[in-house]
């Protein structure tokens, strides 16, 4: 992968859904895993703090293109619909549409 874009984003899991969110991610659908990889989502990780702060990280050549590739899959639509209830402050958006990348200010290669 050349010209890798590192992407970090935050979302907020509802306090009453934290345990269920963790459990849901113990068995991510194989079809979803394959779609993410095919769409260019690499080294994708989610970290969850006790208060529900979710930190996501991935590497990709082009985040906008990687998101668009996922938007074009049926599995992503099903996953987003199933997981939307876990989050606060989506304002009617799907969880993946609510991802707002943070600005990278330092990277030690």
Catalytic, out of 1, 15, 22, 25? 25
Q: Calculate Rg over the CA atoms of the chain.
A: 14
- Judge whether 25 counts as a catalytic residue: yes
Nearest alpha-carbon partner for 8 in 52, 50, 60: 60
Burial class of residue 13 (count of CB atoms within 10 Å of its CB; 0-12, 13-18, 19+): buried
State the DSSP H helix or E strand holding residue 46, giving kind and residue range, or none if neither.
strand 42-48
Catalytic residues: 25
């Amino acid at each position: 992968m050349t010209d890798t874009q590192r992407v970090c984003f935050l979302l907020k899991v509802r306090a009453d859904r934290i345990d269920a969110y963790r459990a849901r991610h113990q068995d991510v659908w194989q079809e979803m895993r394959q779609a993410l990889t095919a769409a260019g989502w690499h080294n994708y990780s989610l970290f969850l703090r006790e208060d529900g702060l979710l930190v996501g990280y991935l590497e990709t050549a082009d985040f906008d293109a990687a998101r668009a590739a996922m938007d074009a899959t049926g599995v992503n639509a099903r996953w987003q619909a199933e997981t939307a209830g876990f989050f606060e402050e989506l304002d009617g958006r799907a969880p993946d549409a609510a991802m707002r990348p943070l600005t990278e200010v330092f990277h030690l290669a």
